[in-house]
Amino acid sequence: MSAQMSRDDLLVKYPSLDRDIHRVDRLTDLFEAAATQGHKPVGQWKRRRDGREKFVVTGHVTYSPGARNHPRISDALDEARAQKRTVPEPDDLAALARLDYAHSNLSDRDRLSYDPDGYGLDEVYSIESRLHRHKLAASLHAATMGEPMVSVVLIDPNVPAVQPDMPLRWRNKDGSVSSSAATFPVGLGYSPKRVAELVMHFLASQCRWCDRADGRPDFGLLCSAGETVYLFPTCRNCRDELASFFADGDHGSTQSLDFIANDGDLHGTGWPADRRR
C-alpha cells in the first residue's frame, strides 16, 4: 500500500477535488457561524509538532464569569433556575420579542438614521431571503418542539406565562394546567446577546435588585449557565453597586460582569445586524 498522499499531490492527481463542496474544516465553520449568528468562538494558539501554529477552540463566550462569586447574583441564579420555563410558539416569539427574520442578523441590515419610535420591520426582507426565512422558521419550530437549544431567560414580572397544550398526564391533580414563564430560544441568525437585547427592549419592566421608583432597567446583566443565558434587568444604581463588589480585585476583576445597554439605540436605528453596528 502506498503512503498517504499530501493534499497537493491529491489535487495533481484528481483536480476535481478542488471543487469538493464537502469540505470538513471545523474552524472555518465556527468562524462562519460567528459571522452569521454571533457565537464568538474562543480559544488559544498552540504550536504543533511541525512548528506551525494551530488555533484550538476551547468554547464560546461566557457572560459574567464572576457572577457566582457575588452572593446576591448567585442566589438570584439559583432562584431563576428553579422556575418553570417553556418556549412559546414561533408566532408568539415574533409577537412578544420580534424574534423573526426582519430582526435577525440574516437580513444583514445597516444602521438606519435614528428614530426614537423605531421602524416597522415586519415587511422588510430581500428577494433572496426566502431560504433564510424558511430555515429560521424551522429552527424556531425545533425549539418549540423541545429540542435542546441555547436560550435566553428574562427575569422580570412582565414575562408572559405560557400554557402549552399539554397531554393529560401533565395536568395537576385538580385537572388544571399550571403555566410556566416564556423562555426565548437563540435561533438561526441570532446571538444570545441579540435575543437578550430584543427581549429587554420589548419586555423588561423593572430592576431585579431594588424597588426604587426610578429603577428603570437601563441595563441587563447577562449570566451564562450552560446552554442558558439568564438576563436580569438592572438599573443604573444597582449596576454600579454590583460592579463595585469586584472593583477591589478580591472577587475577580471588574470584567467579571457583562451588561447590555437598554437605551433604545438599537430600536431607534432599525435593529442593525451585529456586524454592522
Q: Which residues bind Zn ion (CB under 5 A)?
A: 207, 209-210, 215, 235, 238
Nearer to Zn ion, 192 or 215 (CB): 215
What is the nearest approach in angstroms of Zn ion to the Cβ of residue 76? 12
Q: Say which amino acid occupies 212.
A: R
Please check whether residue 215 is in contact with residue 139, taking contact to mean a CB–CB distance below 8 angstroms: no
Nearer to Zn ion, 128 or 211 (CB): 211
Among candidate residues 235, 263, 274, 3, the one with its CA nearest the CA of residue 118: 263
What is the nearest approach in angstroms of Zn ion to the Cβ of residue 268? 24
The angle at the Cα of 73, spanning 70 to 76, to the nearest 5 degrees, equals: 145
Nearer to Zn ion, 214 or 250 (CB): 214
Q: Residue 115 corresponds to which cell in the numbers above?
A: 428614530
Q: Residue 216 corresponds to which cell in the numbers above?
A: 428603570
* Residues whose CB is less than 8 angstroms from the CB of residue 188 and which lie 6 or more positions away in sequence, other chains included: 36, 37, 104, 106, 132, 135, 136, 138, 139
The angle at the Cα of 240, spanning 219 to 259, to the nearest 5 degrees, equals: 35
Nearer to Zn ion, 162 or 207 (CB): 207
What is the nearest approach in angstroms of Zn ion to the Cβ of residue 265? 21
Q: Residue 215 corresponds to which cell in the numbers above?
A: 429603577
What is the nearest approach in angstroms of Zn ion to the Cβ of residue 215? 4
d(CA 189, CA 78) in angstroms, rounded, equals 30
What is the nearest approach in angstroms of Zn ion to the Cβ of residue 216? 9
Nearer to Zn ion, 110 or 240 (CB): 240
